[in-house]
Amino acid sequence: MPAMKGLQLCNRCPNVAGMARSYDLLSRSHALRGNEGNDVVYGGAGNDQLSGGSGNDQMNGGFGFDVALQVGALSDYQVMSLGSSAILIHNGTGERDSFTDVEQIRFDRGPALTLAHSQAEAVAGHLVSTWLNRHLPADEGAYVQQYLSTVSADDIVKAFLTLPETANLTPRSSDELLAELNTNPSMLNLDVHRDLIFSAANDQGYLPFGLALTVDGGAGFDVLHLSGTLNDMHLAQKANVLELTQLQDGGMLNLLNAEILAFDSGETVVLAHNSTAGVLGRLVHTFFKSDATVNEWQQGLQALQDNVAPNTILNWFQDRANLQGLNNNDYIQTLHQNTFNRAASLEELSRYQQQLDQGTLDRSGLAVELATSTEAIATVGTVMQFEGWM
């Protein structure tokens, strides 16, 4: 991955309105509003409605079809683009608001401003505002994003003409309906590229957080470096994709086919591509009560790829964990504490002591049993498993 430092959009903003303290809600649709002053307001993966209030505000809609609300009318503002963001400066107050991953800005009066991140969004927004004299609602905008993003302008026109309210427009050609697309005064075209696909090499580096991106690491051992700490980032597994949300400003990435996240704090999150790799990642916690380093994880995955015998891998753990001097009771308790952050129950302690004493389970087998358990999968949050990744 290219060596690009993660963008720090607002190091000193006093107010952050968003889902930073409600992580389970990041994928839903919300109405979010800032306060007086300079706010950071962000949504997440849903179709959100954002408002910064007074002050110089930064709004990030994230994935989805997101709408921002502004006072006055479009004519009250200077409108410009800055990279993948839109900037609105109020003619009277001089307040400056920035909009990233916001698809539409609605005002108290007059037309809305379409922020088109793709040709499909531009065509759909133009057709609805020009010929139906209304703005694109969130459900229609989300449909365009999900189902029409790769089709031609003519195909979008055909879909548009299926709406009941366009019955009187069917005689018109696509050229006529789209004649003023490039000069539409209520539209700002933002030239963005959301998809990053990397090679089969071992890629590593930082990526910018701002515009929501979909990043495919491809084959190889790929390391995504992240500034700050794990607590600065919300991670969520959505289907077979890892969704990252930067809690400072709402910048998002959808990630697949990567091997590990490495934070500047030294924390890591390993991304296992199958259940065997998942167990290997959790064994690091079971034996060492720590996360795998980048080098350890690369060596471990290489061992699996080379079909190194399981006993050889387990002996590697045993040799380095320095637990040989513990009696069975202390060994069981140490592994439970390392894996589950709790002591073994009396029933667990009795059962495992009996198995170890009788030789029906050895010490390495106990470690594997704990690391394979559903409790370990739920507890060890810095090991995430994605089936079918390269």
Residue ranges in the chain modelled with pLDDT below 50: 1-28
Domain ranges of the chain: 15-189, 196-385
CA gap 307, 333 in Å, rounded: 31
Residue-level pLDDT at 10: 27
Number of residues that this document lists for the chain: 390
d(CA 295, CA 320): 15
pLDDT at residue 39, rounded to an integer: 85
Percent of the chain with pLDDT over 90: 85
pLDDT at 33: 58
pLDDT at 239: 87
Task: Retrieve residue 265's tokens.
Answer: 């704090």
| Per-residue pLDDT, 205 | 96
What is the SS3 assignment for 77?
A: strand
Contacts of 175 (CB under 8 A, 6+ apart): none
pLDDT of residue 54: 85
Question: Got the DSSP string for 29-62?
Answer: --EEE--SSSEEEE--SS--EEE--SSS-EEE--
Residue 275 confidence (pLDDT): 96
Q: What was the pLDDT predicted at 29?
A: 52
